[in-house]
Each structure stands twice: as structure tokens, then as C-alpha cells.
Structure 1
């Protein structure tokens, strides 16, 4: 129990760690750097899905459970995408008034963090204890640039740096609750473990292909982003093999 709590807190608070940069940032962060960071985290999450979650689902269940879980993960993210207006954090130059837009982006990011928290909790409920730590690490790395981008967006809406940091950090806290929910569900209802791991894999693959890769290619930095994706992939595989 303590392990999943610590893992979920560290993963969720990575959002705040990323947002913390804005308190010390003097100039603007280049699009190339942000795109490379997004692509790197996409590579991390891809390796975690293919090397950790999917094999874990097959081992604890089978192919049918894997397919059902992955499709449920993809379906959940699809429903969220269709019902929550998605704001492109990377490429928004101007827009509607603060009250509407800022609240919308905060709500959208918070709700998008729900399946990520579930992924962490379910991973800790699997038979392989290392899986939980690795998925928490992967989600945490993905949360850091997300927190930075949310904070930068809020600053552009003329919000103070302290308030932007606080709001960006709070968007990640829901992952702690959903992580514990996922852990308890799969721990006490054992047959859900393979479905849960596959669900987490499907959700992460959706985020990678629908969110991270397109955003990392939005400013003409395709080549550097591709290199960063491969480096992130190899880095996570190295951690898995250690």
C-alpha cells in the first residue's frame, strides 16, 4: 500500500516539478526544446507499454484480455477527447478570454490525467512489483513537460507565476486518487489485473500517438523529435533491462 501511495504521489507531483521551472525562467523556452521533450517522453511511454504493460497483461491473462483491455483504454480516451474540448498547448498563439480558456484547459488536463493515474495504480497491483515503479516513472516523465506547458499557457493569460505554478500542480493531484482506485479495484478483484494492465497500455498508446507525437511535430522539428523519441525508447528499455 505504501509503495503505490509513494509512487502515485511522485508521479502526480511531477506535474508540479515541471511547472516549477517557470518560477526561475528568464526567457522563453524554444519550440525545438519543448518538442524534443514531448517526443522523449513519448518514447519512454512507448517502451513502458510494449515492454512492461502488454507482456504483463499477456502473462497474467491472455490475448483476449489484452485486446479487450487495450480497446477499453482507447475507447475511454476517445470519449474524453470527444467530450472535453482539447487545447493545443504547444501552438496556441492567441484566443478567447482568460476566464473561459484558462478554466477549460485546467479542466481538460485534469480529466485527461484520470486514466494516467489508473495506469499507475493497476501496475502496482500486478504480480511484478517493478512494473508499478516503471509505469509511475514513465507517467511522471510525461507529466513534467505537461505541467510546464500548462503553467506557460497560464502565464500567457497574464496569471502570476506563483498562481500558474499552483494551478498546474493541482491538475496532477487527481492522479493520486485514481491511482489508489485502480490499485484497490485490481487488488481485490484479481481477474481485473490483465484487463487493467491492458487498459493502461491502450490509454498510453492513445496518448502517445494522438497527443505527444503530433504536438512534437507541430513546429517543423520532426527530425529532432524523432531522434528524441528513439532516445527515450532506448533509455526506458535500458531501465527495464537493469
Structure 2
């Protein structure tokens, strides 16, 4: 119980850690750095899903639960994307521009964090709960950090003070604590759901990687840099898997 609580809090609060940067910068983040960061987190999440979640789901439940859970994860993220507005970044050399209203963005980011929290909680309910859960919590946390920064940056651009922007961005990640614990208890007490839950988490992560992170990191002429960053991120997570 202490492990899942610590892991969900760590991954959720990474949103605030990323938002913390807004207090120390005066301008915007260049597209090159932003694309590099997005690609790095994509590599982290790719390794976590393909070397952590998918093998674990396959060993516990076999191929059918893996396939069903993966498509459920993809389908859930597809519904969220179609029905909930989210940050759309204009690809230009001038910097990052936002055109959505603040409350819609806050609600959207908060709701998009629900499957991420579930992913962490379900991972702790697997047979190798500690190892797999820590791995996924770390991967989700790394993905949440730039997300928190972008939310805070958007709010500052809407003339909200830096302190308020930091606090609001941090709060958007707290939903992951609730959904993480929900996912953990649900799969712990209904054990046959574990492989489906792990596969669901993998599907959700793969959707985010291919639909969001990779395209956004390749939209401004930094494809080669982003590709290198993706590979470095993947190898970094593989190294962590091997070490820990």
C-alpha cells in the first residue's frame, strides 16, 4: 500500500515539478528544446510500455487479454481526444502559442490524467508490483513534467500570475493520486483484471506516444534532433530496467 501511494504521489506531483520552471524563466521555451523534451519522454514511455507493461500482461494473462486491454486503452484515449479539448501548439518559429480558454484547458488536462493514474495503480497490482509499478510511475512522471510546464506557461500567457499558474498546474496532476489508488484496489481485489489493466495502460501510453508526442516533436523542422532524443530516452529507460 505504501508503495502504490508513494508512486502515485510521485508521478502526480511531477506535473508540479515541471510547472515549477515557470517561476524561474522570463520568456518562452524554444521549439527545439520543447521538441527534444517531448521526444525524450516518448522514448521513456515506449520502453516502459513495451519492456514493462506488455511482457507483464502477456505472462500473466496471455495474448487475448493483452489485445483486448490494449485496444481498450487506445479506444479510451481516442474518446477523450475527440470529446475533450486539449492544448494545441501552433508550430511556428516564434514560440509556443495557445488558443484555448483557460478553464477548458485546465479541465482537459485534468481529465487526460485519469488514464495515466490508472496505469500507475494497475501496475502496482501486478505480480511484480513493486518493480513494474515503480517503472511506470517513473515513466508517467517524466511525461507529466513537460505537461505541467506547458499548462503553467499557457496560464501565464493568459495574464495569470506565475504563482497561481504553478499552483493550478500542480493541482491538475492530483487526480492521478485518486485514480491510481482506484486502479490499484480494483485490480487487487479482482485479480483477473490485472493483465487487462496492464494492457490498458500500455495501449494508453502507446496512443500518447504515437498520436501526441512524436508528431508534436516533429512539427518544427527538428526531426533529426527529436529522433536522437527519442532513442536516448528509450535507452535510458532500458538502462534503468536493467539496473533496478
Q: TM-score range by the shorter chain?
A: over 0.9
1:37 deviation in Å? 0.4
Q: Is the 8 A contact 2:38 2:213 kept in 1?
A: yes
Partner of 1:51: 51
Gaps of 5+ in 1: none
CA distance in 2: counterparts of 1:68 and 1:210, whole angstroms: 20
Q: Is the 8 A contact 1:90 1:215 kept in 2?
A: no
- Give a deviation string over 1:208-240, Cα, whole Å, max 9, x none: 011111111122111111110000000000111
Secondary structure, aligned partner of 2:191: coil
Partner of 2:163: 162
Alignment map for 1:175-194 (pairs within 5 Å) = 175-194=176-195
CA distance in 1: counterparts of 2:107 and 2:90, whole angstroms: 17
CA distance in 1: counterparts of 2:212 and 2:64, whole angstroms: 27
Partner of 1:135: 136
Alignment map for 1:16-95 (pairs within 5 Å) = 16-89=16-89, 91=91, 93=97, 95=99
User: Alignment length, in residue pairs?
Assistant: 238
1:87 deviation in Å? 2.4
Partner of 1:10: 10
Q: 1:95 to 1:167 in 2, by over 3 A?
A: same
Q: Is the 8 A contact 2:110 2:173 kept in 1?
A: yes
1:94 deviation in Å? 5.4
CA distance in 2: counterparts of 1:213 and 1:94, whole angstroms: 19
2:241 is equivalent to residue 240 of structure 1: yes
Secondary structure, aligned partner of 1:95: coil
Q: Is the 8 A contact 1:89 1:149 kept in 2?
A: no
Gaps of 5+ in 2: none
Q: Is the 8 A contact 1:118 1:179 kept in 2?
A: yes
Partner of 1:152: 153
